[in-house]
Amino acid sequence: MSETAPDRFGLSGTPIFDGETSRRGLRMNKLFMSLRTAENRERFLADEAGYCQGFGLSPEQQQAVLARDWQAMIDLGGSIFYVYKLAMMDGRSMQYLGGVFTGMGEDDFLAAMRAGGRRDG
Amino acid sequence: MAEVIWGLATSHVPSIGAAMDRGKTEDPNWKALFDGYAPARAWLAEHRPDVAIVVYNDHANGIDLDFVPTFGLGTAEEYEVADEGFGRRPVPDVVGHPELALHLVESLVDEEFDLTVFQELEVDHGFTVPLSVWTPDPGDAWPCPVIPLLVNVIQYPQPTAARCYALGRALGRAIRSYPGDLTVGVLGTGGMSHQLAGARAGFINPEFDARWMSAIETDPASLAALSREELIRQAGAEGIELIMWLVMRGALDDEVVKVHSDYFVPASNTAAGIALFQNGAG
Ligand SMILES: [Fe+2]
């Protein structure tokens, strides 16, 4: 089975967080949610790999988390609302993530949003 | 009997709350949004209900993915404001209304809306930002007790738009059948068009948002007819949360009077909308 999110509806560039994706990403999403507490953030930062293993992430998921490969986290079952917990811990904004997902970079992404947002086509 | 006196639709983007909490409402990037709230806030301050119902979704704070209730309702006496990772928002905890909430659960389950019941729930920005849009300076307490009504909009399959509208209609009947005399305000939250992940991140669709804004007042059934796929296509993968406006709209009468609406891009990565309706023909 492919590890990337299915292209549901044929809407390119539009990940759909469906049940299968959620099943695949459950352990990783639980890790992200645990980062709400300062104590867990400290434990995570002290030993990121060990923390990932403790939550039972797959090797690919652990690699994505350690490398801060945001696109891979989404592809491997991350929900953007959960992935964002890790981004916040790193001091990264949703505009930063938008810059990563679109390949535009944060500044251009932010400028596009301030200009009224991006359109299809 | 209890009576719905108004419905408020509003985006619940966390950065709207953060801008308020950090005193940035006069910042050039935010001023137009908050100026656009002012007429609604002034009207709402004159029309305080006895109870409010906030239709919202949680974002990995009050519940996780162990359980994904399609619809849920809180029956607690109070709801703590969640710490989403960097300290809780400096806003009051929420006082609930168990008597009305339990009546709503019974009425809605009798109408075959089999809600999950929450006796304990921490509420996140999806819930507190709409309260702040309504009441920017709550002081020690929000204007009235509030009941959370949760909708799963995060994990596909979300309930259909039609089901959300039908839930709203049943919610309206449930409120009207409450034996006590209460006035009720209903908040439908989320939206408008936005997408957070994927190569299409940053997608905004002002034409669709304008259509939605108009039809939510005059022709909500046309919005209830939209499929999930159509919503994701038109409003973005996260814009589908607009279905929560339909729960609010369903709880109102067919005839409503629009008090105020406004539209602003961008609140973070989102098109922010607000629409306030007085219930009934006026
Ligand atoms: Fe939301």
CB of A98 within 8 Å of a chain B CB? The answer is: yes
Is it the case that residue B197 has pLDDT exceeding 60? yes
Residue B47 appears among annotated catalytic residues: no
Shortest alpha-carbon distance between residue B176 and chain A (Å)? 36
Helix, strand, or coil (residue B209): helix
Over residues B18-32, the pLDDT tens digits come to 999 999 999 999 999
Q: What separation in angstroms does the CA of B272 have from each of B111, B195, B239?
A: 33, 13, 11
Positive or negative torsion for Cα B140, B146, B150, B153:
negative
Is it the case that residue A1 has pLDDT exceeding 50? no
Q: Give kind and range of the element (H or E) at residue B217.
A: helix B206-218
Query: In what order do the strands lie in the sheet containing B51-56?
Result: B116-118, B71-74, B146-151, B51-56, B182-189, B2-10, B270-279, B256-267
The rounded distance, in Å, linking the Cα atoms of B242 and B11 is: 9
Distance (Å) from CA B190 to ligand 1 centroid: 5
Tell which A residues from 27 to 46 touch B, by Cβ distance under 8 Å.
29-30, 32-33, 35-37, 41
Give the pLDDT score at B8.
Answer: 98
Model confidence band, residue A121 (pLDDT cutoffs 50, 70, 90): confident
CB of A95 within 8 Å of a chain B CB? The answer is: yes
Q: Do A98 and B201 touch (CB under 8 A)?
A: yes
Mean confidence (pLDDT) of chain B:
97
Kindly report the CATH number assigned to the domain that includes residue B12. Answer: 3.40.830.10
Name the residue with tokens 């239709």: B55
Over residues B38-63, the pLDDT tens digits come to 999 999 999 999 999 999 999 999 99
CB of B206 within 8 Å of a chain A CB? The answer is: yes
CB of A94 within 8 Å of a chain B CB? The answer is: yes
Over residues B166-180, the pLDDT tens digits come to 999 999 999 999 999
What's the number of domains chain B is made of? 1
Give the pLDDT score at B276.
Answer: 98
The CATH code that applies to domain A15-90 is 1.10.700.10
Q: Please state, for a pLDDT cut of 70, what percent of chain B lies above it.
A: 100
Q: Which domain holds residue B32?
A: 3-279
Distance (Å) from CA B126 to ligand 1 centroid: 6
Q: How many CB pairs under 8 A join A and B?
A: 135
For residue B102, the number of C-alpha atoms closer than 13 Å in the C-beta half-sphere is 8
Give the pLDDT score at A11.
Answer: 87
For the segment B143-148, the average pLDDT, to the nearest whole number, is 98
For the segment B274-278, the average pLDDT, to the nearest whole number, is 98
Tell which B residues from 210 to 239 touch A, by Cβ distance under 8 Å.
229, 232-233, 236-238
Model confidence band, residue A120 (pLDDT cutoffs 50, 70, 90): confident
Over residues A31-86, the pLDDT tens digits come to 999 999 999 999 999 999 999 999 999 999 999 999 999 999 999 999 999 999 99
Residue B194 appears among annotated catalytic residues: yes
Shortest alpha-carbon distance between residue B204 and chain A (Å)? 5
For the segment B267-280, the average pLDDT, to the nearest whole number, is 97
Give the pLDDT score at B174.
Answer: 98
Give the pLDDT score at B184.
Answer: 98
Residue B266: which of A18, A89, A113 has the nearest Cβ? A113
Q: What separation in angstroms does the CA of B62 have from each of A43, A113, B20, B82?
A: 22, 29, 22, 7
Give the pLDDT score at B86.
Answer: 82
Domain segments of chain A as ranges = 15-90, 91-121
For the segment B82-109, the average pLDDT, to the nearest whole number, is 96
What ipTM did this prediction achieve? 0.95
Give the pLDDT score at A12.
Answer: 86
Give the other-Cβ count within 10 Å of B281's Cβ.
9
Is it the case that residue A2 has pLDDT exceeding 70? no
